[in-house]
Amino acid sequence: MIDFAIDDATREQLAQTREWGRTAMRPAGLEADRSAAPLPALHPYFAKFVERGGGRTRWAGPAGRARAEKPRSVVASLLVVEELAYWDRGVMVADPGPGLPEGNVLALGSEEQKERFLGPFLELDRPRWACFAMTEPGAGSDAAAIATSARRDGDGWILGGAKCFIGGASRADWILVQATLDVRSGRAAQRAFFVERGTPGLGGFKIEKKMGLRAYESTSFTLADCRVPAANLLGGESRGEQRADYATAMRTFNAGRPIIAANAVGMGRAALDEAIAFAREHELLHRERVRDRLEAMARKLLMARLVCLRAGWLADRERPNITEASMAKALAAGVAQEATTLGMELIGATGARGDHLIEKLYRDVKAMDIVEGTGQVQRVIIARNLVGLPR
């Protein structure tokens, strides 16, 4: 029996998230969007975020004591990220913390690496960021094609290449860089390396211009003869498991897909709420056709939410959920785009003027179809699983 019930503590966490979203995230997101620039690292929003306990690692610490307060289940965490994205998905990604690579470090990092790289996120003295760099100008959907090279040199490694569209790269304390030992050997030759801020050869940071989600930076950078110590190879030298780094990177994306789906549902809900508020204010609700369209949208959003929660429910039981995670993302990103389109159509000229939330949501939501595997790639994964082909 599927049961998405949540406990009182999660209900309380959702209420707090709603209040924080309304009072802090939404205004910060609008500010960044209107100025067409990411929120600066020294923005008071981030200091407040850290003050209220955000940005900490899930790692329990060397003594197993410290632990950031986290949702108690994947289902609960999906509900929380849906709520965060309802208020501002760009600000949610901009929030300080060990972010996307934390899971890779917890899964594969040595104890020494956890202490070195996650330790500073136990008790934050200031907002800190970390990020994961996979995408390259020549390798997006086909992550096995990355060309950033790693070459052994004495007691270290030399990295060379270029990455693009990496969230938070220029402000990160360290970047987990996916590189290859031999570009002809595909995924088996991939390894991940910690590259710390200020490492000579790490540079050329360029913040990309984005149509939406402007609150966080998406940054390209280069690695030119960038030397890192042997201790910065994720998992260390001795780990013999050949494809572990690539497989772990892919697991990060698999775990991320329901999160992106939940974000999309939150953004779609926000768009629907804007449309209903406008229709009420402008006395459009007596029109049956208008009500029909709102009703259809609410129904599709609920469907997307249920598929997303089912992917989380399976993850909570440690059952395979690759198909469900891909279905959730493919479905929710499409439905959320539909919801923002409906909002734009109903709100009409008022929405198109450029200072209405619906117009921002319309631009923000497209990325939900692109990041962590495009909608098209999700459909490829679902179809291959359906007919029993290897992924």
Stretch that binds ligand FAD, among 10-18, 31-39, 78-86, 374-382 (CB under 6 A): 374-382
Give the nearer residue to ligand FAD in terms of CB position, either 333 or 367.
367
CA-to-CA dists, residue 185 to 139, 141, 237, 313, 324, angstroms: 15, 18, 19, 36, 30
Say how far apart CA 283 and CA 306 lie, in whole Å.
32
Enumerate residues 218-247 that contact ligand FAD by CB under 6 A. 218
Nearer to ligand FAD, 50 or 260 (CB): 260
Binding pattern to ligand FAD, positions 122-161, x when CB under 6 A? ----------xxxx----xx--------------------
Nearer to ligand FAD, 63 or 387 (CB): 387
Taking the least distance from each CB to ligand FAD, the nearer of 176 and 228 is 176
User: Which single residue brings its beta carbon nearest to ligand FAD?
Assistant: 140
Q: Give the C-alpha separation, 33 to 213, whole Å.
A: 8
- Which residue of the set 83, 324, 338, 372 is catalytic? 372
What CA–CA distance (Å, rounded) separates 258 from 325? 5
Task: Kindly indicate which of the ranges 194-202, 239-247, 318-326, 369-377 contains the residues binding ligand FAD, using the contact rule CB under 6 A.
Answer: 369-377
Q: What is the DSSP letter of 180?
A: E
Let me know if 372 is a catalytic residue.
yes
- For the bound state, the minimum distance from the C-beta of residue 375 to ligand FAD, rounded and expressed in Å, comes to 7
Which helix (H) or strand (E) segment holds residue 253: the answer is: helix 244-281
Nearer to ligand FAD (CB atom), residue 291 or residue 366: 366
Q: Which of 181, 284, 380, 382 binds ligand FAD (CB under 6 A)?
A: 380
Here the tokens at position 27 are: 């205004």
Q: Does 340 bind ligand FAD (CB under 6 A)?
A: no
- 370 touches ligand FAD (CB under 6 A): yes
Q: Which stretch binds ligand FAD (CB under 6 A): 11-19, 190-198, 254-262, 364-372?
A: 364-372
223 φ/ψ angles, rounded to the nearest 5 degrees: -125, 110
CB of 242 to ligand FAD, least distance (A): 22
Task: Return the residues of window 162-221 that contact ligand FAD according to CB under 6 A.
Answer: 165-167, 213, 218
> Least distance (Å) from ligand FAD to the CB of residue 249?
9
Q: Which of 111, 193, 107 is nearest to 156 (CA)?
A: 193
The CB-of-348 to ligand FAD minimum distance in angstroms stands at 27
Structural tokens at position 143? 């992550």
Q: What are phi and psi of 196, to 5 degrees?
A: -85, 150
Residue 374 interacts with ligand FAD (CB under 6 A)?
yes
* Contact status, residue 157 vs residue 233, Cβ threshold 8 Å: yes
**Residue 19 CA: distances (Å) to CA of 12, 87, 320:** 11, 10, 35
Q: Which residues contact 83 (CB under 8 A, 6 or more apart)?
A: 14, 17, 18, 21, 266
Give percent helix, percent strand, percent coil of the chain, each to the nearest 5. Answer: 55, 15, 30
Under a CB-based contact definition with an 8 Å cutoff, are residues 177 and 199 in contact?
no
Catalytic residues: 372
Q: Which residues bind ligand FAD (CB under 6 A)?
A: 132-135, 140-141, 165-167, 213, 218, 367, 370-371, 374, 376-377, 380
